[in-house]
């Protein structure tokens, strides 16, 4: 894991290897924080539910649990609990395929999910998950018959100037006579990622829902075999979209993923509906040296919020000792002293400052009004 | 876990016998983990809260047992890591007629999660929990004590203690009750 959880010998529970492993960032979130934050206290405030998990199935395709956060991606096998740590996890035996599964226990899962909640708060605090374009349609309602040249025709989508942009294709259409389905190929860096079939609607614009998300390096292509389509007379301006570049292309070759593509600026009958957003995951994981302290302070703050509100309605000895309302209120309200809340705000401010210097300036959030308070 | 004293004497010895019987037999009829404690102490806690009239002291108290392994006191209120908790609440004044046999008013307090001890039942089985305890008390060592009554609700059972800090509403699935017994014990076997 990027963030680590330090052993503090306060609980008999043995945490799983994912939590116990040395964090790649070198950062232990529970070390160097308020002394009330220890493993036993955390486990006595986090949700306590008696859970049982379904047995592993060799025919089920599991996703990475911390990404999916789906209970189905945790299974029981040989009287032990395993957590899927990779997507496309099919027919990988939990006990032996350690690249796909990690043996865990319910306490480790509860801690890991809380850490994910902390991550989500950091994303929200720093406004790192920002929608750049919401449901933008890229199409032209054409009525000019045209035979597409070469072997393939494509829309090419490229994140603009940043690897932190994700592009999701919500809908897709093909304006073409007839109703015979055609194949649509989704390609990234000469690799065919997915093939879907799309049925035209007798020359009408008819969008079909899809769920294709591009993120990562390189351009992404949505490709069809060259065929007769209906187009308009407009040209495509590839630079008019925030967060990504979109243009059309035609390809020559034996297969869509290996064809040579030539870029152009006219329509090809394909229409798409696109949402582009900043995906902060990579950014945060690559810049933890700047954001690590913010993570730890947010973790500390959220733990104290949980102590104060007892949000999971726990009732036990640790809970009773820690739930001293006056002390917790002081830690969560007093911004003047060195409290949990003051550390949280200070680290958040530092992280935002660092982010402004390093994050893709083209994609920064400049919305809203900033008010600077000076001396009167 | 049954938290027993290793060398109980006097009142503690008699309580330990009942504690063993209760723990063993309840484990057969209740599901989930049970925490059993013997005689608990009224330990002061500085809270700054007002003093209740019924317990004239400058401090508020919680029921606590002395955990010799940790060299520290621990409160014996409900723990949601378990299904049920029970402990013995005693008074400060025990009486004797012959300086040999002493009589003590004791309450055996239970705090249970009914959904855990009776996982197959969706109804509130609070009376069933009380019946299970009463039957065990009637079946074992009944010559050492008399059952004198039963108390219900956490704020009534623990009325001599601070209960405001307990997150334990007497609503389903949680339930608190106490069996009241007059218990006889010997401090010494010398006649």
State the smallest CA–CA distance between residue A112 and chain B in angstroms. Answer: 19
Q: Report how far apart, in Å, the C-alpha atoms of A294 and of each of A36, A117, A221, A356 are.
A: 19, 14, 37, 15
Tokens of B92: 């400060």
Q: Which residues of A touch B78 (CB under 8 A)?
A: 315-316
Portion 15-44 of A in contact with B at CB < 8 A: 44
- Residue numbers in chain A where pLDDT is lower than 50: 366-376
Task: Please report residues of B whose CB lies closer than 8 A to that of A310.
Answer: 167
Q: Going along chain A, which residue ranges are E strands?
A: 3-4, 27-28, 61-62, 74-77, 80-84, 89-90, 101-104, 131-138, 144-147, 152-159, 165-174, 182-188, 191-198, 208-215, 220-225, 228-231, 244-252, 260-264, 270-278
Query: What is the reported pLDDT for A370?
Result: 45
Test A317 with B77 for CB contact under 8 angstroms. yes
- Picking from B74, B116, B167, the nearest residue to A319 by CB comes out as B167
Residue A37: per-residue pLDDT: 94
CB pair distance less than 8 Å for A317 and B74: yes
SS in 3 state form for chain B?
CEECCCCCCCHHHHHHHHHHHHHHHHHHHCCCCEEEEEECEEEEECCCCCCCCCCCCCCEEEEEEEECCCCEEEECCCCCCCCEEEEEEECCCCEECCCCEEEEEEEEEEEEEHHHHCCCCCCCCHHHHHHHHHHHHHHCCHHHEEEEEEEECHHHHCCCCCCCCCCCCCCCCEEEEEEEEEEEEECCCCC
Q: What is the pTM of this model?
A: 0.70
Q: What is residue A277's predicted lDDT score, i.e. its pLDDT?
A: 77
Whose CA is closest to A23, among A115, A94, A95? A115
**What is residue B190's predicted lDDT score, i.e. its pLDDT?**
64
Per CB-CB distance under 8 Å, the chain A contacts of B81 are 44, 48, 316
Q: What is the pLDDT of residue A274?
A: 85
pLDDT of B4 above 60: yes
Judge whether residue B58 has pLDDT over 50.
no
**pLDDT tens across B83-137, in order?**
999 999 998 888 888 888 889 999 999 999 999 999 998 889 899 999 999 999 8
CA end-to-end span of chain A? 48
Nearest alpha-carbon partner for B119 in B169, B167, B78, B84: B84
pLDDT one-digit tens code per residue, A272-321: 888 877 766 667 767 766 788 889 999 999 999 999 999 888 888 888 88
Tokens of A255: 């297969």
Q: Do B75 and A320 touch (CB under 8 A)?
A: yes
């Amino acid at each position: 894991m990027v963030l680590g959880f330090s052993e503090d010998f306060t609980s008999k529970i043995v945490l799983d290897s994912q939590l116990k492993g040395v964090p790649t960032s070198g950062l232990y979130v529970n070390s160097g924080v308020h002394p009330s934050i220890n493993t036993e206290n955390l486990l006595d405030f986090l949700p306590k539910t008696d859970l049982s998990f379904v047995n592993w199935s060799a025919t089920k395709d599991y996703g990475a649990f911390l990404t999916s956060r789906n209970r189905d991606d945790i299974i029981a096998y040989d009287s032990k609990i395993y957590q899927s740590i990779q997507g496309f996890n099919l027919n990988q035996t939990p006990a032996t395929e350690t690249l796909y599964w990690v043996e865990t226990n319910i306490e480790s899962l509860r801690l890991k999910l809380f850490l994910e909640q902390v991550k989500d708060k950091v994303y929200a605090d720093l406004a790192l998950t920002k929608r750049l374009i919401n449901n933008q349609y890229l199409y032209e309602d054409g009525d000019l018959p045209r035979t597409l040249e070469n072997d393939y025709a494509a829309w090419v989508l490229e994140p603009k100037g940043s690897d932190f942009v994700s592009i999701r294709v919500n809908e897709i259409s093909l304006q073409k006579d007839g109703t015979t389905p055609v194949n649509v190929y989704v390609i990234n860096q000469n690799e065919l990622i997915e093939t879907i079939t799309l049925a035209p609607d007798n020359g009408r614009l008819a969008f079909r829902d899809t769920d294709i998300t591009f993120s990562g390096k390189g351009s992404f292509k949505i490709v069809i075999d060259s065929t007769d389509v209906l187009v308009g007379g407009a040209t495509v301006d590839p630079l008019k979209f925030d967060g990504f570049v979109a243009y059309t292309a035609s390809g020559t070759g034996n297969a869509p993923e290996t064809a040579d593509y030539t870029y152009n600026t006219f329509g090809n009958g394909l229409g798409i509906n696109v949402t582009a957003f900043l995906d902060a995951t990579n950014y945060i994981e690559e810049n933890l040296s700047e954001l690590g302290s913010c993570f730890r302070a947010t973790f500390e703050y959220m733990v104290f919020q949980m102590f104060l509100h007892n949000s999971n309605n726990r009732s036990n000895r640790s809970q009773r000792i820690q739930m001293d309302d006056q002390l917790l209120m002081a830690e969560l309200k007093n911004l003047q002293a060195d409290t949990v809340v003051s550390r949280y705000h200070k680290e958040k401010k530092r992280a935002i400052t660092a982010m402004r210097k390093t994050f893709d300036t083209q994609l920064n959030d400049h919305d809203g009004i900033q008010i600077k308070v000076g001396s009167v | 876990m049954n938290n027993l004293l290793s060398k109980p004497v006097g009142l503690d010895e008699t309580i330990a016998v009942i504690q063993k019987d209760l723990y063993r037999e309840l484990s057969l009829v209740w599901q989930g983990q049970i925490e059993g404690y013997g005689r608990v102490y009224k330990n002061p806690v500085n809270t700054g809260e007002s003093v209740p009239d019924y317990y004239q002291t400058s401090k508020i108290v919680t029921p606590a047992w002395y955990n010799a392994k940790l060299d520290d006191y621990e409160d014996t209120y409900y723990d949601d890591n378990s299904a049920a908790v029970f402990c013995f609440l005693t008074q400060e004044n025990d009486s004797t007629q012959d300086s040999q046999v002493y009589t003590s008013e004791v309450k055996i307090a239970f705090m249970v999660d009914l959904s855990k001890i009776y996982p197959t039942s969706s109804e509130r089985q609070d009376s069933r929990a009380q019946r299970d305890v009463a039957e065990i008390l009637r079946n074992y060592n009944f010559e050492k004590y008399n059952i004198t009554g039963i108390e219900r609700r956490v704020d009534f059972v623990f009325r001599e203690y601070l209960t405001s800090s307990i997150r334990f509403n007497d609503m389903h699935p949680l339930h608190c009750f106490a069996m009241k017994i007059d218990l006889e014990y010997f401090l010494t076997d010398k006649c």
